[in-house]
């Protein structure tokens, strides 16, 4: 298992390019199940989750051919199987995104209940209720979801809560349903807008993605398309936070300021100079960091996927900051590890109170995280700390960050990957 050895403190400075968005790429890969024609996705990030999705699609009969800048997915005449097995699904919750497309294309699907990060219960009840509203029969047996519908029919469905994956699954399923589907209380993340853009290029009739209500007029078939995945706002945000935490000056090329607005606002409030430009975002921090209060929420609120990294920045800010997590019930696994590094953090149910600034360790520390974004937060803490930090179990990080140690090295950080 690989680990990172970080020699801090480092000032993260320079220019970095945002990779393609993992969370847009995954549903877009699943969308290749909806057509017989090739779907070319450009700008895909080189990540473990992307390879897992490619393997899962391969199992379902969709071949992936490498292209210089991405991948071409080709389902051919037939999607050959309707079974997404546990061995493939367990490592990645986004595997459940094949459910809607498989059902729409084949009239049946069998998908193992998902795994993924250990950050709460993360049920898929909304995905299933939505598919039932489109006429599917859904059963849960022995850890598998089995769904049938000769052909899905358009319907009206209101989500009980805003779910990103649920919205994506239903949106994809409805493209091939008979008649019109209206989805309400939809998630509004930029990745959903990007998925709708791909589906539209494939011939789907979708209106309202990015808003509360999405209307889809079902069509009989979808065709191929070539599509560039949007830049990863979470990766971009992580690097901006690395620079803010360590007092650097950074240019993140490809970052879309509008998609990052909730983070950029808080960075400015904390005392950073944030300058969006056409094609990227620049950040500089010279003075002291100021305390801040943040509550995570579905988009356009503050993203839960940046909560752990933001917390590290708050350990370096003067005063008491609060961070409230409202999206997932168990997403503070980085707190004990940060506390071991010297951070002063009190947890009260879903709210963390961070008192700063605290110097992070002077002597070597070994830390370990059990989810993707928590791992990123420990890397940030290692960059801010004085001395050596070893972040273990980097495989979580590799699910969501493309060659992070290389990108950080190019930004003057002393980070090495080593086999443990």
Catalytic residues: 117
Q: Kindly indicate which of the ranges 136-144, 158-166, 220-228, 249-257 contains the residues binding ligand UD1, using the contact rule CB under 6 A.
A: 158-166
CB 34 within 8 A of CB 175: yes
Question: Which position among 110, 127, 266, 393 is part of the footprint of ligand UD1 (CB under 6 A)?
Answer: 127
Question: Which position among 3, 95, 112, 163 is part of the footprint of ligand UD1 (CB under 6 A)?
Answer: 163
State yes or no: residue 161 binds ligand UD1 (CB under 6 A): yes
Residue closer to ligand UD1 by CB (options 44, 413) is 44
CA dihedral over 181, 182, 184, 189, signed as positive or negative: positive
- How far is it, in rounded angstroms, from Cα 242 to Cα 309? 8
Q: Which DSSP letter does residue 98 get?
A: G
State yes or no: residue 125 binds ligand UD1 (CB under 6 A): yes
Q: Strand (E) positions, 199-244? A: 205-207, 214-217, 225-228
Q: Kindly indicate which of the ranges 101-109, 164-172, 175-183, 256-264 contains the residues binding ligand UD1, using the contact rule CB under 6 A.
A: 164-172
HSE (side-chain half, CA atoms, 13 Å) at 320: 6
> Tokens 């459940």 correspond to what residue?
96
Residue 120 Cβ vs ligand UD1, minimum distance, rounded to whole Å: 6
Q: Kindly indicate which of the ranges 159-167, 217-225, 349-357, 405-413 contains the residues binding ligand UD1, using the contact rule CB under 6 A.
A: 159-167
Residue closer to ligand UD1 by CB (options 205, 350) is 350
Q: Which long-range contacts (CB under 8 A, 24 or more apart) does 136-142 make?
A: 136/103, 140/113
Question: Which position among 34, 88, 124, 173 is part of the footprint of ligand UD1 (CB under 6 A)?
Answer: 124
State yes or no: residue 26 binds ligand UD1 (CB under 6 A): yes
Q: β-strand 387-392 against 317-324: which pairing, if any?
A: unpaired
> How many CB atoms within 10 Å of residue 401?
27
State yes or no: residue 279 binds ligand UD1 (CB under 6 A): no
Size of the site for ligand UD1 (CB under 6 A): 22
Look at residues 405, 343, 334 and name the one whose alpha carbon lies nearest to residue 371: 334
Burial level of 63, CB count in 10 A (0-12/13-18/19+)? middle
| Residue nearest to ligand UD1 according to CB distances in the complex | 165
- How far is it, in rounded angstroms, from Cα 252 to Cα 120? 31
Q: Kindly indicate which of the ranges 34-42, 120-128, 278-286, 374-382 contains the residues binding ligand UD1, using the contact rule CB under 6 A.
A: 120-128
Residue closer to ligand UD1 by CB (options 233, 291) is 233
State yes or no: residue 19 binds ligand UD1 (CB under 6 A): no
What b/e readout covers 171-198, taking b as 16+ CB neighbours within 10 angstroms?
bbbbbbbeeebbbebbbbbbbbbbbbbb
| Contact mark string toward ligand UD1, 325..364, x via CB under 6 A | --xx------------------------------------
- How far is it, in rounded angstroms, from Cα 332 to Cα 325? 8
Residues 6+ away with beta carbon under 8 Å from 336: none
- Residues between 42 and 101 with contacts to ligand UD1, criterion CB under 6 A: 93-94
Question: Which position among 4, 19, 20, 23 is part of the footprint of ligand UD1 (CB under 6 A)?
Answer: 23
Q: Kindly indicate which of the ranges 121-129, 260-268, 314-322, 341-349 contains the residues binding ligand UD1, using the contact rule CB under 6 A.
A: 121-129
Residue 328 Cβ vs ligand UD1, minimum distance, rounded to whole Å: 5
- Which residues here bind ligand UD1, judged by CB under 6 A? 23, 26, 93-94, 120-127, 161, 163-166, 187, 304-305, 327-328
């Amino acid at each position: 298992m690989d680990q990172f050895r970080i020699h801090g403190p480092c000032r993260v400075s320079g220019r970095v390019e945002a990779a393609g968005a993992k969370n847009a790429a995954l549903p877009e890969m699943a969308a290749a199940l909806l057509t017989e024609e090739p779907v070319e996705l450009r700008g895909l990030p080189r990540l473990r989750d992307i390879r897992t999705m490619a393997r899962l699609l391969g199992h379902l009969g969709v071949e992936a051919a490498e292209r210089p800048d991405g991948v071409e997915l080709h389902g051919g005449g037939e999607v050959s199987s309707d079974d997404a097995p546990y061995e493939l699904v367990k490592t990645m919750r986004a595997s459940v995104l094949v459910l809607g497309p498989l059902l729409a294309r084949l009239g049946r699907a069998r998908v193992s209940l998902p795994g993924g990060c250990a950050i709460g219960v993360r049920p898929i009840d909304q995905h299933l209720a939505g598919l039932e509203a489109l006429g599917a029969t859904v059963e849960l047996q022995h850890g598998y979801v089995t769904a049938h519908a000769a052909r899905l029919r358009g319907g009206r469905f209101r989500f009980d809560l805003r779910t990103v994956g649920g919205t994506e699954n239903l949106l994809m399923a409805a493209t091939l349903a008979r008649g019109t589907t209206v989805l309400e209380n939809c998630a509004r993340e930029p990745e959903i807008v990007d998925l709708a853009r791909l589906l539209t290029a494939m011939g789907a009739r979708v209106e309202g993605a990015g808003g509360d209500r999405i209307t889809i007029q079902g069509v009989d078939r979808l065709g191929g398309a070539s599509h560039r995945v949007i830049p990863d706002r979470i990766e971009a945000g992580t690097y901006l936070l690395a620079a803010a935490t360590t007092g650097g000056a950074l240019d993140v090329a490809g970052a879309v300021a509008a998609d990052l607005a909730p983070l950029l606002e808080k960075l400015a409030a904390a005392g950073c100079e944030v300058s969006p430009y056409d094609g990227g975002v620049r950040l500089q921090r010279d003075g002291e960091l100021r305390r801040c209060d943040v509550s995570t929420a579905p988009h356009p609120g503050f993203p839960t996927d940046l909560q752990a990294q933001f917390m590290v920045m708050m350990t370096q800010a003067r005063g008491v900051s609060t961070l409230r997590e409202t999206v997932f019930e168990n997403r503070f696994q980085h707190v004990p590890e940060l506390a071991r590094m010297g951070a002063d953090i009190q947890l009260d149910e879903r709210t963390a109170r961070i008192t700063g600034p605290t110097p992070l360790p002077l002597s070597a520390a070994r830390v370990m995280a059990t989810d993707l974004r928590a791992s990123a937060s420990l890397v940030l803490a290692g960059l801010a700390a004085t001395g050596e930090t070893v972040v273990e179990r980097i495989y979580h990080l590799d699910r969501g960050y493309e060659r992070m140690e290389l990108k950080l090295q190019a930004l003057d950080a002393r980070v090495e990957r080593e086999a443990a």
